[in-house]
Structure 1
Amino acid sequence: MSDFMSRASLAGAVDLSSLRKPDPIASAAQVNKQPPADLVKVPDLVALGTESNIKNFVTISGVVPVLIDFFASDLEQSRALSDKLEAAVRSLDGKMFLLKVDTQAALSVAQAFGVKEVPSVVAMIKGQPIPLFEGDQPEETVQTVLDRLLQVASENGVAGQLAISADFEAPTLEDLPPRHKAAYDAIDAGNYSEAVAQYEAALNENPADSVAKAGLAQSRLLLRTDGVDFEKTLASVPSSFEETILKADVCVAVGHAAQGYQAILTRFAGAEKDERDALRKHLLELFEVSQPDAPELTQARRALALLLY
């Protein structure tokens, strides 16, 4: 499993929700406000997302909200929803961008977002994923959700404009330090052990490098979960230290951070001293993958402190 967000925005994946949950877009209000972006030229308002190009759309999400359609072309309801989404986005005349991700061809991208059902729809504002809905929805519902998304994006300074043009400049990420760039390229190639080595070297050169510290935690997580059966692990009930660690890793990797933290905290409560120390260290490393202001992180830190003292 390859988590592109560890490379592009260090945002971490999030769990997807259904429309039955109250106002899922409101979570975007936590995004820092910035001035509106200028007009940006793009070749089209719709694109196919892959692991290799996803970072460009993370950048675009700082200009306009990016709608992500996780689809499967062999499912009739998925094709129907895709048509509605494209028509709705094109009718907005550059105020929103549609990214289509084929869940069969880009499985790792879907896994990074914790996609469990196809079709699923997620949005991005400034690189932060926002769960919208699963399954096909009526046109009226789709339009209501997109209207609300535009409103929240505007409130958070993402109210730019895209223009279709053959003469466009591809968005790029800020230049990275050499070690970071090497780690980035290694992750892009699926070489997670090399990414770990590069981030470790960066920290040896500058122990205060917080980005390298977070990148190292992300890379180690990718390495530990590479080749793991996510569905089986998520459904498991761990009964050993190793099973607990794996369950926690997979939960965090697919965006179920609170569940991952709880798996370790539950075992921690009844563990012996040596195992408690190992669990604590692993939990602290998983904390590095999370956004610093994530509520589940604050809750888990508080729970760990209570167990320690």
Structure 2
Amino acid sequence: MTEFAFDVSIQDFETKVLQPAESVPVVVDFWAPWCEPCKVLKPLLEKLAEEYKGRFLLAMVNADENPELSQHFGVRSIPSVKVLFQGQLVDQFDGALPEGQIREFLDRFALPPAPGGDLRAEAAALVIEGKLEEALAKLVEASKIKPEDQAIQLDAVDVMMQLGRNDEAGQLLSGDYTQEADRANALRARLALSAGAADTAELEAKLATNPADHGVRLDLSRAYAAQARFREAMEAALEVVVRDRAFDEGAGRKALLTLFEALAGSDQYDDLIREFRRKMSAALN
């Protein structure tokens, strides 16, 4: 669940749906765990809620657990989608529609994009394509439009670090980020990992000679992290946990936790963090 997509029940329907709907459209998705079309529609709506960044909110109602709400809104089959805005039911559809039709549906009532918002989304798409310089240019432009938006500033810091422009990133991170404190701290932690990068080839050669040298393996993990090779960094640290969880007072586990902290707040690393949290938990239990 996120700030744009969340579960609701009859107990919190007023605070989570009716009150916000006075100022922003709320899409209410009636679904149930056994409903096959719901399994297609629900994740698609969640994805679009994140993409539209608050231009509408998505409230998901388990119809089996909230029959009173289903009855009140006249839900006869699921999935059923209702849109509430300014005290009225403004639109609706039943069944699972293709993504293109859902976008057309959403665009009929979604709030207009915030100034600079589209530029940030465009920058994120460019990052995925590996066009980092173009992404940074978009973020600079977006920041001029919304200079108070700390999320855009930290997006730019993230891209600078990917480009190896760590001095500039460090200067920007020296400021106060009260609105985005957790993400700013995570980026500072990642910047610290990039300091003092060692020669990975030399460390790999040492480890090949003595695979039981956990100290060298942790040095290699740090070297990988300094080069933004985060999967390899986590794999090396996890191997220390697997081979000897007590080594140097749990240094392997601490190295993984440092990596988790450094990558937190960046959507592109969420899956990686979840994967290695599970692996670390399995190794420790």
Identify the structure with bigger relative contact order (alpha carbons < 8 Å, sequence gap 6+): 1
- Which is richer in helix? 2
TM-score if structure 2 supplies the norm length? 0.39
Larger radius of gyration: 2
TM-score if structure 1 supplies the norm length? 0.36
